[in-house]
Structure 1
Amino acid sequence: MDLDEVADRLYALPPPEFTAAREAEARAAKDAGDAGLSRDIAKLRKPTVSAWAVNRIAREHPEELAELLDVGERLRAAWQEQDADALAELTQRRGVVTGKLGRLIRQVAGLSPAAAAEVDQTLDAAVVDADAAAQVRQGHLVKPLSYSGFAPAPILRERPAARRKKTPEDQAAEAREREETEARKARERQEAEAAHREWREAVEAATEEYDECAERVATLERKLAKARKKLDDSRHRLEVAQREERRARQRLDQ
């Protein structure tokens, strides 16, 4: 047993099952006499829901994921070669494949809008960055990925004065691209709005819970203050009674 084997098993599990399984794996390694492996297992981090969803797709739908990563590899190569035609074609293909895979992940994992947005962010990173692609392919993600560098995009270059007349096929392709772009923007807008509503509701719930807890604490503090006052009064009465009892005993002894 090595760390990669254990990580493969752990990162295939839903997040709620991860911690208990990790502890069991760490104990098993320690019982087997491999203290170093046990420590390494204990350091494995629990994945977020969005990271687990991408890990799940890497295991259960490797062909669909491979299609996206292949588009990303070809897109990066086209950018290096400054191939404008290939970039234009692959950029369109990227939108189609990313959208299809994103829908598959949502269907399989049942994600919240916020987690779904993180999945889209991770897929975009895997397309434009080779290191991110390797992490996604491995299936050991613990958090969503992002890419802040310069993403490959179609190259604008001068065209000759005489332009080729667009064919019906060209026009249809452009129309499809516009529709896909508009649909993607609408979906992203809906997901952003849903995520905002979700977090706003979470803030409201947390605020209500905080207010209730604060009120309970204030009530307990008031009761504690009264109890301390009673304790002080009882202590005073006890001290008086003890003092008078001593005096009475002294008189009795005389």
Structure 2
Amino acid sequence: MDLDEIADRLYSLPLAEFIAAREAEARAAKQAGRPDLARQVAALRKPTAAAWAVNQLSRDHPAELAELLELGEELRAAWAAQDADALGELTGRRSKLSQRLMRLASSAGTEVEQTLDAATVDAGAAEEVRRGRLAKPLSYSGFAPAPIPASRPARKPSEEDRRAAEERKARELAEATAAHEEWRATLAQAVKDRDERAAKVADLERKLAKARRKLAEADQRAEVARREEAHARARLDR
């Protein structure tokens, strides 16, 4: 057993099981006479919800994540070459892939999106995401596309370009609308489930309160009967 194997197991677990499993692994390493490994295991940080969600993408949806990371390599090459056309096309594809992965993630949010963006602009971040052992979300602000040389003449958008832009905006709007509808439905179901459980808890609490009252009454009757029985027994002993 080595640290990589243990880390892979821990970071693949449901989030709520991480701490107990980490402690068990550390104890096992110590009992096996490997105190250094035990200390390394104990130092593994529990992931945040966003980091855990990205980690699970690497396990549950490796093909989709690999597609985004490969596109990141193309993006970095386009930035280095100052290829504005390729940059525009790749940026649009990145947006679609990121949104698809956001919908697949167990916990969607800004930090998940920032982590996926970081993985497309930084090779080191991409490798961390690919390994699936993030303890915290990633962000990256130190890299920006190189400017297009001023000597390059600006190309006036054609009618075809305008139509393509409008179609892209329409697709992005449709995707955003679909994502919103999906999450709105999820929220409605979650609220309904919560309300149903709250009603059950309230009903159980009312039943428990009633049962406690009956228990108190039974205790009182038993106490009265106990006193009367003792009194009657004392009269027999006279």
Both structures adopt the same fold (TM-score exceeding 0.5): yes
Out of 122, 130, 147, the position equivalent to 1:137 is 130
Instruction: Map 1:6-45 to 2 at 5 A.
Output: 6-12=6-12, 25-35=25-35, 37-38=37-38, 41=41, 45=46
Equivalences for 1:1-254 in 2 at 5 Å?
A: 1-12=1-12, 25-35=25-35, 37-38=37-38, 41=41, 45=46, 50-51=53-54, 53-57=56-60, 63-70=66-73, 74=76, 85=84, 88-99=88-99, 101=101, 106=104, 115=106, 117-118=108-109, 122-128=112-118, 133=126, 135-141=128-134, 145=137, 164-168=156-160, 170-241=161-232, 243-244=234-235, 248=238
Question: Cα distance, 1:197 vs. partner?
Answer: 1.2
Query: How many angstroms does 1:142 deviate by?
Result: 6.2
TM-score (norm 2): 0.66
Q: RMSD across aligned C-alpha pairs, in angstroms?
A: 4.5
Q: Would the aligned equivalents of 1:29 and 1:35 in 2 still touch at CA under 8 Å?
A: yes
TM-score, structure 1 normalization: 0.62
Report which of the two structures shows the higher radius of gyration computed on alpha carbons.
Answer: 1
Aligned length: 223
AA aligned to 1:70 is: E
Give 1:6 shift.
0.6
Which has the higher mean CA deviation after the structures are superposed, 233-242 or 44-53? 44-53
Q: What is the aligned-residue identity percentage?
A: 31
What SS does the corresponding residue of 2:108 show, helix, strand or coil?
A: helix
Q: Distance in 2 between matches of 1:50 and 1:91?
A: 23
- Indicate conservation of the 8 Å contact 1:6/1:25, yes or no: yes
8 A Cα contact 2:48 2:135, kept in partner: yes
Instruction: Name the stretch that deviates more: 7-16 or 214-223.
Output: 7-16
Any stretches of 5+ residues in structure 2 without a counterpart? 148-153
Say if 2:29 and 2:35, in contact at 8 Å, map to a contact too.
yes
CA distance in 1, matches of 2:65, 2:179: 25
Residue 166 of structure 1, CA deviation: 0.7
